[in-house]
Amino acid sequence: MSRQKCIALIAHDEKKDDMAAFALKNEKVLAQAKIVATGTTGGRVLEACPGLDVTRLKSGPLGGDQQIGALIATGEVDLLIFFVDPLTPMPHDVDVKALMRLAIVYDIPMALNRATAEHLLDFAAV
């Protein structure tokens, strides 16, 4: 029997509303997966969809991005959805780049915006 798929959810501050709306729209698909999320993003997703299996990690700037990176490196994350805000400077930009690098190195499907995330969920065998 194969393990349940794991989807990592992260959203920059200006994209958290969009992530909550995305989760609500895709709740049935996401309910088939284990979700790991950075702290505040996970909280917002749980507010929108209290029935989802969401494990909240630390806030991104406080180590949550690295925690998700570690889960990618150990083969525990199958899909990364990271709603990036390209218009707001991020003081933890190096953490974001390291996380993206790990997703690329370990060949993890990664969506950086809602349109791509919608397509990945449509095609993923979650």
The catalytic residue positions are 65
Q: Would you say 12 is a known binding-site residue?
A: yes
- Distance in angstroms (rounded) separating the CA atoms of residues 69 and 31: 22
Q: Would you say 15 is a known binding-site residue?
A: no
- Distance in angstroms (rounded) separating the CA atoms of residues 53 and 34: 6
Q: Would you say 116 is a known binding-site residue?
A: no
- For every residue of 78-123, DSSP letters joined together read SEEEEE--TTS--TTHHHHHHHHHHHHHTT--EESSHHHHHHHHHH
- Distance in angstroms (rounded) separating the CA atoms of residues 85 and 112: 9
Q: Would you say 59 is a known binding-site residue?
A: yes
Q: Would you say 38 is a known binding-site residue?
A: yes
Q: Would you say 64 is a known binding-site residue?
A: no
Residues annotated as binding site? 12, 16, 38-41, 59-60, 92
Residues annotated as binding site for substrate? 12, 16, 38-41, 59-60, 92
